[in-house]
Amino acid sequence: MASTTQPVEKRSIASRIGMVLLYIALGIVAVFQIYPLIWLFIFSLKTNTEVFGNSPFALPEDPRWENYVRAWTDGNIDMYFFNSVWITAVSVIATVLLASFATFAITRMNWKLSKPVLGLFMIGLMVPIHSAIIPLFSFYNDMGLINHPLSLIITYTAFNLPITIMILLGFYITLPREIEEAAVMDGASIHRMFFQITLPMTSPVIATTAIINMIYNWNEFVFVNTFISSDKWKTLTVGINNFVGQYLTDWGAIGATLIISIVPILIAFLILSDRIVEGIAAGSVKG
């Protein structure tokens, strides 16, 4: 009896040690991930003198909360913030909806060109973003869309479609066809079947793709800097340059602006975190 229980006890001790080591490793990774945010928050409360005069890890002697007020009012950050919010939201909705349409048509409908069309979308993953800047600028200039937010929405949607379809594809393959077949037997149209049955079932993976698209659109800089020159339509990533001058740069206000730009993404991730994990787990298991 003792010989059978001893290996079990050894395995139990080894598993506990393994879990402890795993938590220690995860704790170290978490510190490295969270500390830059804490450092940036401390940085946003400093003056230029404290930024360059003291240790970069030192706490501010007198926290400058007015840096946030100055960033929000003097630097037009309120307008840039609103532009980032609605341009990102419209682009994410358009991308997820169009990608869902395409994935549904490729995986649930029988037509000859489904595989070639999927291949064309996947080719989009291999197109370098920067190689398309000049052709896009020429196209938008001819269409009168330079200095227009529609140029950003179209670009974000087009470049995010391939990766979004690829993520959705793995989830759609796992969906049981019996539910859709039953809906067809009940007389449901293809549009009703998609919006009332398939789309709700894919909500976990939609949350995953939405947060991925949101992070990309929110942090994107190159297209905004290329297509938008008017302050009316600039986003936060470009608006930060307002605090960079030829002779003086307000580093505290820049730090405050960066914190303001990070908060919405953190909130969205915390709200959708459960859905994201659920979508990744569901999309990775077939059958």
Domain definitions of the chain by residue range: 2-43, 75-283
More confident call, 246 vs 103: 103
* Per-residue pLDDT reduced to its tens digit, 62-88: 888 888 888 888 777 888 899 999 999
Task: Dig out the tokens for 143 from the structure.
Answer: 């269409």
Yes or no: say if 266 and 155 are a contact pair by the CB < 8 Å rule: no
Torsion over CA: 136, 216, 84, 46 (sign):
negative
In 133-189, DSSP assigns E strands to: none
Give me the chain's average pLDDT, please. 83
Using DSSP's 3-state secondary structure scheme, residue 127 falls into coil
Residue recorded with tokens 């459960």: 274
Looking at residue 245, its pLDDT comes to 60
Looking at residue 286, its pLDDT comes to 46
pLDDT at 255 over 60: yes
Looking at residue 287, its pLDDT comes to 43
**Which CATH architecture does the domain made up of 75-283 adopt?**
Orthogonal Bundle (1.10)
Task: Dig out the tokens for 247 from the structure.
Answer: 């002779």
Task: Dig out the tokens for 6 from the structure.
Answer: 């001893």
Residue type, 166: M
* Per-residue pLDDT reduced to its tens digit, 215-234: 899 989 899 999 998 888 99
* Per-residue pLDDT reduced to its tens digit, 262-287: 888 888 878 877 766 665 565 554 44
Looking at residue 1, its pLDDT comes to 47
How far apart are the C-alpha atoms of 234 and 228, rounded to whole Å?
6
pLDDT, average across residues 168-190: 82
How far apart are the C-alpha atoms of 192 and 75, rounded to whole Å?
47
Residue recorded with tokens 């970069």: 56
Which of these ranges, 24-38, 109-123, 180-194, has the smallest mean pLDDT? Answer: 180-194
Looking at residue 27, its pLDDT comes to 92
Confidence class for position 247, pLDDT limits 50, 70, 90: very low
Looking at residue 49, its pLDDT comes to 81
* Per-residue pLDDT reduced to its tens digit, 136-177: 999 999 999 999 999 999 999 999 999 999 989 888 888 887
Residue type, 187: G
pLDDT at 15 over 50: yes
